[in-house]
């Protein structure tokens, strides 16, 4: 692939280049055998026909390594649906980039894993929906998904690769937290990440269905503290704080355009995987621009980088270099203004939006609409119920 340099390429006069990125999230495809209602993929899934080709990914990883990227998450959708995944891993590893596969585990075979390991794959993160197989299959929208995951975990540990589990937490699995954590030692995982649902994309669409109660969360936090003590030195238990509940904004992505970048299936490059939803961002793509230009010079990456873009109450806040004003996508989703202070922050003038949400009595589950799920990606298909 040869990116077409624009006339204004080259060092910006007088501008300091931002520090190089450490990590790249490669969304290799939006296609997925699972259909979780909290999916972090955009509502408009990229069609398979628009996906970057193998030579385009190879070139992207070379450019990323030249830029300073040392770590890549190979994700999706389900990256195993890419027939050329082994070659993609080899390209990243060959460029000197540490690779981790982010997978549902569905479709992983011993032969496939051996090829991936041979190509330089260094670790695997497996998603889990619930501790109970039937409940997990229901959340994932696929029969026998949980059993396939357990099998995949065994393959990974047999191959000697480090295994991590990732669980997105919400109202329907928080009660099973203890049993979910038990899966880590039982399946041979050295790490389990318990990520409370972040509400944008599909999760925002299904918020009423997913948002836990305060009581559920308080109990979960106590469980995490206890299990951390018990599993100390054996399993690392990561708790991704639910920012709707504690009045503080999270330092989303470690700052906009500060640490990592996301490349979507069609080559669009984003400062955060959810940022495609922001209006007027006009994110650049690797088919049109060199990755270095995108990171160092593109308006999309400069837009919320650092603190210059901030307004009050962020601009004069002591935490502005710590939380970077929180999440731009959440600010946009809940206030209609992507440059507003994240409403998760108690100092936001919109904080009541969040308070009203979490303090509202939980609707009885019978009264809920059918959750909406991502389906097959297609350029012409709009969001709809399956």
Partner 1 sequence: MTTWRPGPAPGVLLRADRVRGVDLLLLPERVVVLEGSAGEVLRLCDGTRDVPQIVRELTARHPDAPIADEVPAFLDRVRKEGWLR
Q: For binding to partner 1 (CB under 8 A), which residues are involved?
A: 20, 22-23, 66-68, 70-71, 96, 98, 100, 122-123, 125, 160-162, 164, 190-191
State in angstroms the smallest separation of the CB of 126 from partner 1: 12
State in angstroms the smallest separation of the CB of 20 from partner 1: 6
State in angstroms the smallest separation of the CB of 161 from partner 1: 6
State in angstroms the smallest separation of the CB of 49 from partner 1: 32
Asked, as a colleague might, if the bond just before 364 is cis with ω within 30 of 0, I would say no
Taking the least distance from each CB to partner 1, the nearer of 37 and 166 is 166
Taking the least distance from each CB to partner 1, the nearer of 86 and 341 is 86
| Distances from the Cα of 286 to the Cα of 58, 87, 253, 295, angstroms | 12, 19, 21, 11
Beta bridge partners of 240: 195
Taking the least distance from each CB to partner 1, the nearer of 22 and 309 is 22
State in angstroms the smallest separation of the CB of 125 from partner 1: 7
Any known ligand binding at 36? Answer: yes
CB distance 224 to 194 below 8 Å: yes
214-231 vs 177-187: helix axis angle to the nearest 10?
30
Distance CA 217, CA 168 (A): 13
Place of tokens 């990243």: 92
Taking the least distance from each CB to partner 1, the nearer of 155 and 281 is 155
State in angstroms the smallest separation of the CB of 101 from partner 1: 10
Question: Torsion over CA of 180, 186, 189 and 193, rounded to 10 degrees?
Answer: 10
Taking the least distance from each CB to partner 1, the nearer of 254 and 386 is 254
Taking the least distance from each CB to partner 1, the nearer of 234 and 315 is 234
Annotated binding-site residue numbers for [4Fe-4S] cluster: 32, 36, 39
Annotated binding-site residue numbers: 32, 36, 39
């Amino acid at each position: 692939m040869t990116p077409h340099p624009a006339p204004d390429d080259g060092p910006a006069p007088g501008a300091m280049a931002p520090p190089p990125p450490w990590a790249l999230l490669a969304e290799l495809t939006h296609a997925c055998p699972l259909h979780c209602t909290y999916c972090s993929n955009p509502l408009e899934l990229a069609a398979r026909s628009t996906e970057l080709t193998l030579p385009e990914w190879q070139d992207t990883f070379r450019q990323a390594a030249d830029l300073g990227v040392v770590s890549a998450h190979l994700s999706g959708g389900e990256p195993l649906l890419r027939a050329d995944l082994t070659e993609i891993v080899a390209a990243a590893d060959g460029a000197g980039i540490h690779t981790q596969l982010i997978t549902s585990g569905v479709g992983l075979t011993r032969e496939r894993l051996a090829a991936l390991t041979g190509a330089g794959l260094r670790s695997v993160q497996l998603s889990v929906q619930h501790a109970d197989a039937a409940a997990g299959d229901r959340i994932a929208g696929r029969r026998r998904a949980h059993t396939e995951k357990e099998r995949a975990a065994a393959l990974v540990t047999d191959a000697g690769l480090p295994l991590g589990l990732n669980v997105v937490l919400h109202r329907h699995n928080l009660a099973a937290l203890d049993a979910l954590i038990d899966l880590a030692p039982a399946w041979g995982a050295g790490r389990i990440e318990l990520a409370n649902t972040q509400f944008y994309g599909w999760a925002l669409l299904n918020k009423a269905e997913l948002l836990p109660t305060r009581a559920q969360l308080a109990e979960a936090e106590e469980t995490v503290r206890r299990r951390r003590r018990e599993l100390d030195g054996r399993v690392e238990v990561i708790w991704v704080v639910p920012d709707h509940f504690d009045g503080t904004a999270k330092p989303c992505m470690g700052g906009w355009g500060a640490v990592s970048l996301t490349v979507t299936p069609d080559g669009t490059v984003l400062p955060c995987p959810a940022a495609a939803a922001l209006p007027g961002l006009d994110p650049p793509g690797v088919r049109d621009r060199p990755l270095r230009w995108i990171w160092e010079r593109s308006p999309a990456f400069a837009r919320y980088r650092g603190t210059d873009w901030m307004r009050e109450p962020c601009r004069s806040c002591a935490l502005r270099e710590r939380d970077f004003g929180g999440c731009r996508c959440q600010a946009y989703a809940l206030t209609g203004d992507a440059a507003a202070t994240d409403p998760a922050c108690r100092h936001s003038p919109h904080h009541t939006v969040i308070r009203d949400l979490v303090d509202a009595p939980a609707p009885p589950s019978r009264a809920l609409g059918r959750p909406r799920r991502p389906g097959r990606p297609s350029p012409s298909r709009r969001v709809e119920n399956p």
